[in-house]
Structure 1
Amino acid sequence: MVVDEKAQIRELRDKFLSKLKDGEPSGSSDFHPADIERVSSNDDWLRRFLEHNEYNIQDALKMLWESCEWRRNFGTNDITENNVRMDYLEHGVCYSYGKDKDGKKLFVIKSKLHTKGSKNFAELQRCIVYWFERLEREGNGNQISLFFDMIDVGLSNMDMELTKYLIGLFKNYYPNFLNYIIILEMPWILNATFNIIKSWLPAKALPKIKFVKRATLKEYVDPSVALKSWGGNNEYVFKFVPEAQSNGLVNGKTDNKKVHFAENSPLTEQADSTFGDKLPDQALLSVEPEVLTFTKSGNDVISKTITLKNNSSESNVTYKIKTTSPEKFKVRPNTGILLPSQSVSVTITLQLGYDHRSLVPNDRFLIMCLPIENKEMTNTDLIDFWKSNGTASEQHKLICRLGNDSFDGLKSSLVNNGAGDENLISKLFTKISQLQDEQAKLESSITSLKRLFVFFGTLVIVVLAWFVHSLNSNVQSFMKEQSHTSVVETILPRHDEI
């Protein structure tokens, strides 16, 4: 069947934009402007959705819509080297290097360097998405090959959750992006594990899996490209290199040093207005506290409360709250109206599935406010109001900190008192946070060792008890035999007496 590709691309675009205009389903159409622009103008991107779904328009539309929803909720467009864990990028668990024989870039997973639970999974996900987005930009959407370096890997290095996440990205959000899955030197002990992994892939993707040894890797990667550890000739040693900057762009985005905020649906931060220069005594709104310190107490859900107060004794004020990480936080209420001199308490909760240690210096909140006359406006009216008037708002920014120690107050003090560059201080405290993580892992290991000692101690006691019991049984049996022999000798005459 001959497919009119251009006509199908036009149809897919028209259906998407029509659905977007109609706002169906309700509340789901507030996508990132960059994604809407890509749908509107990038034929190659839409072609990938059609190819991935074998030119079924409805399936392609469903995948395109769900991809835009995921990108909005995950904050994909706003992920840069500045807001992911740099130590994760520099560790080399995953990185891009070289190309396969088809000219597709290799995305390498060095499995030996990773063990399940050794890294914050949410932050590791962000690093992987950073690499996917970077490879998309560098290759203009060209396919990549997923390369599992499984040399010297054991069961502890096999993270099924991570593998499933990688496959899910290709399967659901990055259409027609996968060339091969190359698996180098997989230990035989993991055969059963990979049978499970195969079940996660669609049937048409199974031929993409290539199990290779050092001797056979040359079928897919040229020896001049393959590392020496892979059996090739290349002496490359991994070192993280920041993405190239060109035409004023960093990571494909304008380097304006701004932080992008989102709420339940991400919106890029508008340019600062003159409101941002107001002195505290002139501000419409006061916000307390200015730093959100999250602490963990047992198994309780982590939440913080901020207080917003209308400083005006005459005017009503409407407020709106955004966050850089909508996938991590729930904000209630995130918009509303304050009457003159009125206050409101806003609860910010760390979502289930996120550990308090996943907080990074780039997790921030933007609170915007504007005077308003109509105090009876509905939530729908407020949404429309903010879409039209957000650029002129007064803005307050809050930063997140990890609690349970004295470092947070020290850091805030250093920043607020001008003791140094905030980025440098943030890096310092990121290192401190990493040391805390290592301390927690060490404590966990000590606990495990204690349990192991208890187990072996119990085992030794059981073995000794069994040995004593057996010895006692044998002694009693021996004594009975001796007693029986004596009786027999008493009743029967000895041979020499007959």
Structure 2
Amino acid sequence: MVSQMLKWRKERGLREMLEQQFPQELTLAGAGFVYETDKFGNRTMYLRAAMCKNCSELKAALKDFLAYQVYKLDDPSEGTTYSIIMDLTGATLTNYDIDLMMYIVSLLKDYFPVNLDYFLAINFPWILSAAWSLIKRLIPAEKRDAVQFISSDKIFDFVDKENCPDFLGGTCTRPYSYINQEAPTTIEYLTQQKQQPPNSKPISKKRLRDILNLFCDVLPKDHIAKLQVQIENYNEESYNDDTNNNNNSNNNNNNNSEEDLKPTKRQEEKAKTKRVK
């Protein structure tokens, strides 16, 4: 199990990951972040379901972002145990992604299984009862007690008010929502060729607008306006031209490599002379 865990971490490149690899909006929305310690000295990570949108184009980035955050949290040099607090207050059907929830369980169970002290689910909605029945089967029996369901008014049984973020009634002033200026915006991230599968079609402006609409209720208006400008400036034809140029460049490189392997006429003559001798 340990070898599998270490292999996965290496394959994901968690040690080399940087926050600026991910779209700015993940930190701006405060979807998931490491925060102050709880009453038991555990480091904490907060997940906010209402800030996570069910968007297929961003799901891989969100999964990597969560793995990156848990990897930082699991650093043994910072302490021995941690807790994860998931706030489901205000979440709607656009936030419920059973695949993502199962990924989080798998992440903690298979790849970070040792140091988790407890997992809090705050204001868990009845609509997810069936999903929980499915997810519960993935959790080893001896670990199920670590998952606790509470209402938001019970949070101070676990976290001191001065260490708790404001959206749960705390008074901690440490910022959890911010922009990493070195990171791409969601629009830049989705229109960068390196983020797309080889030979894939460019994402359309219409789809970009649909994605932006998903985030309108969780991002500042001035940031939304900035993203709208980026969408209008996005040129799908330019994307196609760049992709074709890259493909042609790769083909030329491959052809050049094949030509380089062929012997020159002079080399062939030398080889014939050696055979005659």
Tell me which interval the TM-score lies in, with the shorter structure as reference length. 0.5 to 0.7
Of residues 177, 187, 198 in structure 1, which corresponds to 2:115?
177
- Inter-CA distance 157–150: structure 2 relative to 1 (3 Å threshold): same
| Residue aligned with 2:94, SS | helix
Alignment equivalent of 2:134, drawn from 196, 214, 217 = 196
94, 97, 104: which is aligned to 2:32? 94
Percent identity of paired positions between Structure 1 and Structure 2:
23
Partner SS state of residue 96, structure 1: strand
Q: Out of 189, 210, 213, which is 2:151 matched to?
A: 213
Aligned-residue Cα RMSD (Å) equals 3.1
User: Deviation string for 1:249-282 (max 9, x for gaps)?
Assistant: xxxxxxxxxxxxxxxxxxxxxxxxxxxxxxxxxx
Give the conservation status (yes or no) of the 8 Å contact 1:185–1:212: yes
Which residue does the alignment assign to 1:131?
A: 69
Once the two structures are TM-superposed, the CA of residue 112 in structure 1 deviates from its matched residue by 0.7
Aligned to 1:296: 201
* Paired position in structure 2 for 1:68: 6
Q: Distance in 1 between matches of 2:112 and 2:174?
A: 29
SS at match of 2:84: strand
Alpha-carbon deviations, 1:383-420, whole Å to 9, x = none?
A: xxxxxxxxxxxxxxxxxxxxxxxxxxxxxxxxxxxxxx
Q: CA deviation at 1:122?
A: 1.2
The higher radius of gyration belongs to: 1
Q: Is the 8 A contact 1:110 1:148 kept in 2?
A: yes
Change (3 A) 1:339 1:145: farther
- Residue 156 of structure 1 aligns to a residue whose secondary structure is coil
SS at match of 1:101: coil
**SS at structure 2 position matched to 1:224:** helix
Cα 1:293/1:141, change in 2 over 3 Å? same
Q: 1:119 to 1:91 in 2, by over 3 A?
A: farther
The answer as to whether partners of 1:141 and 1:177 remain within 8 angstroms in 2 is no
**How many angstroms apart in 2 are the aligned matches of 1:200 and 1:155?**
23
1:120 maps onto 2:120 in alignment: no
Structure 2 matches for 1:27-38, cutoff 5 A?
A: none
C-alpha separation between the residues in 1 aligned to 2:155 and 2:135?
A: 21
Rounded to whole Å, the distance in 2 between the matches of 1:89 and 1:207 is 30
Instruction: Work out the CA distance in 2 between the residues paired with 1:240 and 1:116.
Output: 21
Whether contact under 8 Å (2:49, 2:87) holds in the other structure is yes
Deviation at 1:196, TM superposition (A): 2.1
1:406-417 superposed matches below 5 A: none
> What pairs with 1:75-474 in structure 2 (closer than 5 Å)?
75-117=13-55, 120-137=58-75, 139-140=77-78, 142-240=80-178, 294-296=199-201, 306=251, 307-308=253-254, 309-310=256-257, 338-340=261-263
Give the deviation of 1:294 after TM superposition: 4.1
The alpha carbon displacement at 1:203 in A equals 0.6
- The alpha-carbon deviation at position 175 of structure 1 amounts to 3.0
State the alpha-carbon separation in 2 of the partners of residues 65 and 141 from structure 1: 22
Give the Å deviation of 1:84. Answer: 3.0
CA contact (8 A) 2:102 2:135 kept: yes
Structure 2 portions without partners, runs of 5+: 181-196, 204-245, 265-277
Length-normalised TM-score, structure 2 = 0.63
AA aligned to 2:84 is L
Quote the Cα distance in structure 1 between the aligned partners of 2:77 and 2:47: 19
What is the SS of the residue equivalent to 1:216? helix
Structure 1: 5+ residue stretches without partners: 1-62, 243-291, 314-337, 342-498
Q: Does the 8 Å CA contact 2:27/2:179 hold for their aligned counterparts?
A: no
Secondary structure, in 3 states, of the residue corresponding to 1:176? Answer: coil
Query: What are the superposed Cα offsets for residues 338-368 of structure 1, whole Å, 9 maximum, x if unpaired?
Result: 4547xxxxxxxxxxxxxxxxxxxxxxxxxxx
Aligned length, in residue pairs:
202
Per-residue deviation, 1:293: 7.5
Q: Which of the pair is proportionally richer in strand?
A: 1
C-alpha distance in structure 2 between counterparts of 1:77 and 1:340, whole Å: 44
Q: Is the 8 A contact 1:310 1:339 kept in 2?
A: no
Q: Shift of residue 209 of structure 1?
A: 1.0
* Secondary structure, aligned partner of 1:195: helix
